[in-house]
């Protein structure tokens, strides 16, 4: 299944809620991911441009997008940035395909 890196910023009221309540944001992200048939592999809070990041696996792009749309609808985060991740095996396959189309001989 494809892997994705998601980065986001929490809205101000959500930061206040995190300070006031004993909630686990990683559990929230895991539950949302699993509701769409995905698997959460990593969750981190961040310093810098984003407040949090997750690496998750979903069946396909449409499912990953549906999960993100649901998260936006809940109103807890904004500025979600998603990046599709490619494994070393995926890069090797892409290189092979590009070489074939371009007629370039390569060594793998």
Give the Cα separation of 103 and 97 in Å (integer): 10
Domain of residue 8, residue span: 3-102
Which stretch, 18-22, 25-29, 45-49, 103-107, has highest mean pLDDT?
Answer: 45-49
Write the pLDDT tens digit of every residue in 16-40: 888 888 778 899 899 999 999 999 9
Give the Cα separation of 35 and 74 in Å (integer): 14
Number of domains into which the chain is organized:
1
Decide if 96 is inside a domain.
yes
Decide if 107 is inside a domain.
no
Under the banding of pLDDT at 50, 70 and 90, the label for residue 54 is very high
Under the banding of pLDDT at 50, 70 and 90, the label for residue 108 is low
Give the Cα separation of 35 and 97 in Å (integer): 35
Residue whose C-alpha is closest to residue 34's, from 69, 4, 77, 63: 63
The strand order across the sheet containing 3-10 reads 39-45, 52-57, 3-10, 77-85
Mean predicted confidence (pLDDT) in 59-70 = 94
Which CATH number is 39's domain given? Answer: 3.30.70.920
Mean predicted confidence (pLDDT) in 2-10 = 95
Decide if 108 is inside a domain.
no
């Amino acid at each position: 299944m494809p892997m994705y890196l998601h980065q986001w910023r929490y809205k101000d009221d959500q930061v206040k809620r995190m300070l006031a309540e004993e909630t686990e944001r990683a559990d929230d992200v895991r539950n949302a991911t699993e509701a769409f048939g995905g698997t959460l592999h990593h969750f981190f809070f961040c310093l810098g441009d984003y407040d949090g990041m997750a690496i998750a696996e979903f069946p396909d792009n449409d499912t990953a997008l549906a999960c993100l749309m649901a998260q936006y609808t809940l109103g807890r985060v904004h500025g979600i940035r998603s990046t599709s991740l490619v494994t070393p095996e995926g890069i090797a396959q892409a290189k092979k395909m590009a070489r074939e189309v371009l007629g370039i001989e390569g060594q793998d």
